[in-house]
Amino acid sequence: MTQMGLASIAKSSTRHLSYLETGRALPSREMVMRLAEELEIPLRERNALLLSAGFAPAFHESSLSELASAHRAIEQILEAHKPYPAFAVDRRWNIVLSNRAIPKLYVGVSSELLQPPVNAMRLTLHPFGLAPRIVNLAEWRHHAVMVLRQQVEARADSAVQAARVGVTGVCALPFSGRTLSIESRPSGAGAWCKKNNRRPGGRWRRGRPAMGSRRLERARERARIKGKQGDC
């Protein structure tokens, strides 16, 4: 969004926004709230903006355990999904509530991914998690990365940034062999994929990754060069 576009929807002028940006002018409480609303900044970060501008926070923060009515409502929604598993996540994508069918979802998942707090993004995109069961994995992975990117841009949350880095580094592609444990691999799926010469689009054969198309092409080219040298 350009400064002119923001000034237009915030009902202000580009000159005034420029003064606010450079510190030549101080924003009013109403201006802070208006800009935060137009930029779709989360409520927690709006409190931080108000504090930095010298105003008292406008929103009260409570944990889920303190909101008894909301807690019961979420539990009812999750239970209504039975016999299918369902869970609720917090702003960092950690699972905070689930229904009684959730153990079925965890069957075959590595125990490392189930250590609390269980992160839904990591659980669904990791090759030793739920990724092999997702039919439209490419679409879901793209959507997950875009959502995390928007969260990082909207708030300064180190946990969300770490989740984004972890998700973008995961080679969450379906595979046939599940004989290898995640604990026996180097930390991070990216390192695990690199060690095993697995490339996006590669297929699994008997629990081992097939050589990627580009790698195979380079190997064939080297073989042709060696053949010509031998003929000489």
pLDDT recorded at residue 83: 93
pLDDT recorded at residue 75: 93
pLDDT recorded at residue 56: 92
Contact indicator for 58, 46 with CB cutoff of 8 Å: yes
Q: Mark 100-122 as b/e (b = at least 16 C-beta within 10 Å).
A: ebbeebbeebbeebeeeebbbbb
Domain ranges of the chain: 3-52, 64-105, 119-232
Residues of the chain with pLDDT under 70: 64, 154-157, 159-220, 223-232
pLDDT recorded at residue 210: 45
Contact indicator for 89, 95 with CB cutoff of 8 Å: yes
For the record, the structure tokens of 36 come out as: 């935060």
pLDDT recorded at residue 22: 87
As a whole number of angstroms, the distance between CA 17 and CA 38 comes to 14
pLDDT recorded at residue 192: 37
